[in-house]
A and B are shown apart, each in its own frame.
Chain A
Amino acid sequence: MRILIVGYGMVGHRCASVLSELAAQRAAGDEPVSITVLSKEARPAYDRVHLTALFNGSTDADLTYDDPPGVEVVLGEEAVALDLAARIVTGAGGSTYAYDALVLATGSRPFVPPVPGHDLPGCFVYRTVEDVDAIKAYAAGRRVGAVVGGGLLGLEAAGALTSLGLDTHVIEFAPRLMPLQVDDAGGMALRQRISELGVTVHSGTRTEAVHAGEDGAAAEMLLAAGHDPSDQRTLPVEMVVFAAGVRPWDTIGREFGLALGERGGIKVDAHCLTSDPHVYAVGECAMAMDGRVYGLVAPGYSMAETAARHILAGDSKPFLGADLSTKLKLMGVDVASFGDAFGTTAGARTTLYSDESQGLYKKLVVTEDGRLLGGILVGDASAYDVLKPLAGTDTPLPADPIRLLLPPSDGEAVTLGVGSLPDSATICSCHNVSKGSLLEAVQEDGCATVGDLKRCTKAGTGCGSCIPMLGKLLDAAGVEQSTALCPHFAQTRSELYEIVLVRRIGTFAQLVAEHGVEGADVEGCEICKPAVASILASLSGRLGGPKHILSGEQAALQDTNDHFLANLQKNGSYSVVPRIPGGEITPEKLIVIGEVARDFGLYTKITGGQRIDLFGARVEQLPAIWRRLVDAGFESGHAYGKSLRTVKSCVGSEWCRYGVQESVAMAIELELRYRGLRSPHKIKAAVSGCARECAEAQGKDIGVIATENGWNLYVAGNGGFSPRHADLFAKDLSRQELIRAIDRFLMFYIRTAERLERTSVWIERIEGGLEHVRDVVLNDSLGLGAELEALMDAHVGSYTDEWRAAIEDPETLRRFVSFVNAPDTPDPSIEFTTERGQIKPLLTIGRRADRTDDVKDLVSAG
Chain B
Amino acid sequence: MIKQIPVCRYEQLIPGRGVAVLLPDGSQAAVFRTAKDELYAVGNLDPATGAYVISRGLTGSRGGMPTVASPMLKHVYELASGRCVDGPAGPDPAHRLPTYPVLREAETVYVLEDPAIPRDGNAFVLDDAGAAAGDA
Contact = CB atoms under 8 A, between A and B. Distances in A.
Asked if A and B bind, the verdict is yes
Given A820-B12, A822-B22, A859-B118, A570 B98 contact: no
Contacts of B12: 814, 820
B133 interface: no
Interface residues of B, number: 52
B19 interface: yes
B8 interface: yes
A858 B61 contact: no
B27 A559 contact: no
Given A488-B61, A557-B58, 7 more contacts: A487-B62, A525-B67, A571-B51, A572-B51, A819-B28, A850-B45, A851-B27
Contacts of A570: 49, 51, 72
B6 A821 contact: yes
Interface of A: 487-488, 509, 521-530, 553, 555-557, 559-561, 563-564, 568, 570-572, 814-815, 818-822, 825, 827-830, 843-848, 850-852, 854-855, 858-859, 862
A731 B45 CA distance: 53
Interface string B61-73: 1111011010110
Contact of B34 (A523, A818, A844): A523
Contact of A559 (B15, B22, B71): B71
B50 A843 contact: yes
A571 B46 CA distance: 10
Closest 3 CB pairs of A and B: A845-B50, A556-B16, A525-B60
Contact of B20 (A560, A818, A852): A818
B93 to A, nearest CB: 10
Nearest to B68: A526
A671 to B, nearest CB: 28
Contacts of B49: 570, 845
Interface string B33-46: 01110000001010
A556 B19 contact: no
Contacts of B28: 819, 827, 829
Contact of B45 (A563, A830, A843, A848): A848
Nearest to B120: A855
B58 A529 contact: yes
Among B8, B16, B118, B136, the most chain A Cβ lie within 10 Å of the Cβ of B16
B6 to A, nearest CB: 6
Contacts of B66: 523
Among B15, B36, B52, B64, the most chain A Cβ lie within 10 Å of the Cβ of B52
B41 to A, nearest CB: 12
A527 B60 CA distance: 9
B2 interface: no
Contacts of A854: 98, 119
B14 interface: yes
A522 B53 contact: no
A670 B89 CA distance: 40
B47 A850 contact: yes
Given A509-B35, A525-B67, A844-B52, A821 B7 contact: yes
B65 to A, nearest CB: 9
B38 to A, nearest CB: 9
